Amino acid sequence: MKAQELRDYTDEELRQMEAELKRKLFTLRFQIAMGQQDNTAALKNTKRDIARIKTVLRERELARERERQAAKASEKAGEA
C-alpha cells in the first residue's frame, strides 16, 4: 500500500485500517513465535503500512493546524 493511495481515504477509514493492521500485527507475532508463519516479511510490511497510515494522518493534522494559525493571523491583521 502506497502513501499516495492512502491519501484518498478519509481520516475515519484510515483509523479503521490502522486498527485492523494492528490486530493483524498482533496475530502475526504470535504465529511467528509459534512457528505457524514462515513469512517474516509480512511482519515488516505490516509495520510499514501502519507507519504510512500514521504519517498521512499526521500530515493532515499539521495541515489543519497551519490553517488555524493562518486564520488567526489574518484576524489579527484585520484588527490592527
Q: Supply the pLDDT for residue 51.
A: 97
The pLDDT assigned to 73 comes to 87
CATH of the domain at 51: 1.10.287.310
Q: Cell 500514521 belongs to which residue?
A: 54
In the chain, count H helices and then E strands. Answer: 3, 0
Share of the chain above pLDDT 90, in %: 80
Q: Is the pLDDT of residue 50 over 70?
A: yes
Residues spanned by the domain of 57: 3-79
Domain count, the chain: 1
- Dig out the grid coordinates for 19 from the structure: 486498527
Q: Is 75's pLDDT higher than 90?
A: no
Please give the backbone phi and psi of residue 50, each rounded to the nearest 5 degrees, phi first. Answer: -60, -45
**pLDDT higher than threshold 90 for residue 46:** yes
* pTM of the predicted structure, to 2 decimals: 0.86
Residues of the chain with pLDDT > 70, as a percent, come to 99
